[in-house]
Amino acid sequence: MKVEMSGFLIKQKQALKDLVKRLSEDYKYVSILGTDTSGTRYQLSRTGSSINESSWVERGFVSRVYNGKSYSEYSFNEIDNMGDVEREIRQTIADNKTLIENHGFNSVAYPLLEDEELTESFLGEIESHPEQSSSEEIINSLRSEMNRGLKLADYLIDLRMIYEYAHVSKLFISSGKELEQSYVWSQGYSYPIGQNEKGMKYSYRSFSGMKGIELLEEMKAGVEPAVLEVEELLNAERLLPGEYEIICAVASAGVNMHDGAKAAFEVSSYLFDDEGTLGTDTQVIEKGILKSGISDLLSAAKLGTVPTGNGKRESFERKAYSRMTNTFFSPGKDKLEDMIASVKKGYLLENYTCGMEDPKNWGIQCVALKGKEILNGKLTGRTVAPVYLTGFVPDLLQSISMISGDLKLSGSGACGKGYKEFVKTSTGGPYLKTKGRLA
């Protein structure tokens, strides 16, 4: 079924166009992004449950105006009086002038953004819309899986089941552009927690995609592996820190790398970004050579490059930055069993919980729930947990000696800029054999 565009945004379109027109009489570039995202998060545990609106829910607007040297933005969500909104937008532009003229600030100089004529729209497609399903149906599905999972092992303290969806609608208006898009993404987790005499451990399996409640069916496949993995983790040992040969499951490193809203069909696939630039497929690395970076509209304008459609905002309340979308490494031709057979002493790392890069200094940190020991080409059955993979990205990339043929993306997480500006992304890739420092 086709996803429907927000009726609220459609209703506001003419008023926004009028506002852009009025401001355009005085300013050479004016744009407004309108967002309307609805969604719900259903969570069930042994001791209770909750149904709350998704943290991705938002409804509001952000204007961007060329102030003569750079750009000023104003975020708002009260539209009863568009005259007040217009005054606030003009005040924000005046603030910039005051800071420069009265407070001695220097301003970065940006070129005037080109505003080509473009009218496009995109409506996503899903099998079954969560907004047309009852809460009872969703909760019962989660409860059924929770009850089934809890019976699988007596070491379980809890088994949390989570399903969340977001119905995203965005409208972008400028003098030249009129863009609309609406789509639905869903994500789900099974999250068992277990305990033995050594302590507590948890595992998870996550599912995501541009999908509706059909994801609930997919989630059923994750319960048993996650529960069994808890037992493995409860009996795991701590790793002896050092440098090892490693095989990373769906990690972010490789030799052919892509990013883009159109590079894959996952939770960060869209027609246009939060600055009205159409999404693309950027080949970041080709055969080991850096080919292109990703950019938002302003950084591309400053650098004189073509924007790649990566200007994303956490919400209408926040600034746009160059951000990841669907980022992955292209598959190779090796088989996982051959990769394991080639390792003399190392680990197969699985189930990452977080990652952080050190952009300027090429550092990287990933935390995996577990590492499965490989000795003389065979999995020994011994597991270490947790595992901190760290290192120097060029070294990690240069050490890649084998790449498996499969490709799997996961969009169940989010990416922050430092510890804020969280945006929805998907990442993934094939298994990679490389060398890394583990602790």
Partner 1 sequence: MIDKIRSILKQANIDIWNIRELSTSSRELFFIRKDLDMNRAKKVRSYTLTVYRDFQDEGNSCKGSATLKLTPSMDESEIRAKVEKAYYAASFVKNPFYPLPSPGKTERNGQQEKSHDFQKSLDDLSGLTKSLYKNDVHELGGINSAEIFLSSNSYRILNSEGIDVSYSKNRKDIELICDWKEEGADVELYNMFSFSDNCPELVEEECRKQIEHCRLRAQASPATELKSVNVILGGNAIIDLMGFYLSQTTAKNKYEKLSSAEKGKVFQGDNVRGDLISLTLDPAIPGSSYASPFDTDGISLKQIPLLEKGVVRQFHGSLQYSHYLNIPPTGKIKSFTVARGDGRFEELKKEPYVEILTFSDFQMDNLTGDFGGEIRLALYFDGKKVSPITGATLSACLFDIQDEIYLSGDIIRKENYQGPKSLMFKNGHIAGS
* The residue to which tokens 């996803």 are assigned: 3
- Whether the CB-CB separation of 190 and 219 falls below 8 Å is answered with yes
Q: Partners of 363 in the beta sheet?
A: 358, 392
Stretch that binds partner 1, among 23-31, 71-79, 214-222, 335-343 (CB under 8 A): 71-79
Least Å from the CB of residue 268 to partner 1: 21
Q: Give me the 110-129 binding string for partner 1, x by CB under 8 A, dash otherwise.
A: --------------------
**Least distance CB 188 / partner 1 (angstroms):** 17
Residue with tokens 């996952």: 266
Cα 366 to Cα 386: distance, rounded to the nearest angstrom = 11
* One residue of 119, 360, 376, 394 binding partner 1 per CB under 8 A: 360
370, 351 Cβ separation under 8 angstroms: yes
Using CB under 8 A as the binding rule, the residues of this chain from 179 to 208 that contact partner 1 are 193, 199-202
3-state secondary structure of 105: coil
Position 88 contacts partner 1 (CB under 8 A): yes
**# of chain residues touching partner 1 (CB under 8 A):** 81
Tokens of 33: 């992004």
The answer to whether residue 18 forms part of the interface with partner 1 (CB under 8 A) is no
The crossing angle, in degrees rounded to 10, of helices 82-101 and 7-24 is 50
Minimum CB–partner distance for residue 379 and partner 1 (Å): 22
Q: 20: exposed, middle or buried (C-beta count within 10 Å: 0-12, 13-18, 19+)?
A: buried
- Distance in Å, CB of 81 to partner 1, minimum: 11
Nearest to 122, CA basis, from 273, 21, 228, 229:
273
Radius of gyration from C-alpha coordinates of the chain: 24
By CB under 8 A, residue 303 contacts partner 1:
no
Which position among 356, 375, 401, 405 is part of the footprint of partner 1 (CB under 8 A)? 356
Q: How far is the CB of 126 from partner 1 (least distance, A)?
A: 19
Q: Which is nearer to partner 1, 376 or 418 (CB)?
A: 418
Beta strand spans in 281-439 (E): 282-286, 289-290, 311-312, 321-322, 326-329, 345-358, 363-375, 378-384, 387-392, 402-403, 408-410, 414-417, 420-424, 426-429, 432-438
Residue 143 beta carbon to partner 1: minimum distance, rounded to whole angstroms: 9
- By CB under 8 A, name the one of 15, 82, 100, 414 that touches partner 1: 100
Minimum gap (Å) between residue 198 Cβ and partner 1? 9
- C-alpha 176/C-alpha 169 separation (Å) is 20
Look up residue 415 and give its amino acid: C
How far apart CA 240 and CA 347 sit, in angstroms, is: 12
d(CA 288, CA 256): 6
If one asks whether residue 221 binds partner 1 (CB under 8 A), the answer comes out as no
Structure tokens at 330: 């292209």
Q: Torsion over CA of 348, 350, 354 and 360, rounded to 10 degrees?
A: 30
Minimal distance, residue 234 CB to partner 1, in Å: 10
Rounded Cα–Cα distance for residues 13 and 69 (Å) = 28
Q: Which of 14, 91, 121, 401 binds partner 1 (CB under 8 A)?
A: 91
Work out the end-to-end distance of the chain between its first and last CA atoms, rounded to an integer number of angstroms: 48
Out of 225, 241, 288, 405, name the contact with partner 1 by CB under 8 A.
241
CB of 226 to partner 1, least distance (A): 15
Nearer Cβ to partner 1 (375/439):
439
Element (H, E) at 357: strand 345-358
Q: Which is nearer to partner 1, 370 or 424 (CB)?
A: 370
Residues 157-176 that bind partner 1 (CB under 8 A): 157-158
Q: Does 388 bind partner 1 (CB under 8 A)?
A: yes
386 binds partner 1 (CB under 8 A): yes
Q: Does 81 bind partner 1 (CB under 8 A)?
A: no
Contact with partner 1 (CB under 8 A): which of 354, 375, 378, 401?
A: 354
- Binding range to partner 1, per CB under 8 A, among 39-47, 146-154, 215-223, 406-414: 39-47
For 154, other C-beta atoms within 10 Å of its C-beta total 7
**Contact at 8 Å (CB) between 323 and 315?**
no
Stretch that binds partner 1, among 96-104, 167-175, 210-218, 324-332 (CB under 8 A): 96-104
Options 18-26, 178-186, 253-261, 355-363: segment touching partner 1 (CB under 8 A): 355-363
Helix pair 215-234, 135-150: axis angle to 10 deg: 30
Interaction of residue 136 with partner 1, rule CB under 8 A: yes
Question: Which residue number, 88 or 281, has a Cβ lying nearer to partner 1?
Answer: 88
Exposure b/e, 268-296, CB count within 10 A at least 16 = b: bbbbbbbbbbbbbebebbeeeeeeeebbb
Q: Is 289 in the site for partner 1 (CB under 8 A)?
A: no
Site string for partner 1, 413-432 (x = CB under 8 A): -----xxx------------
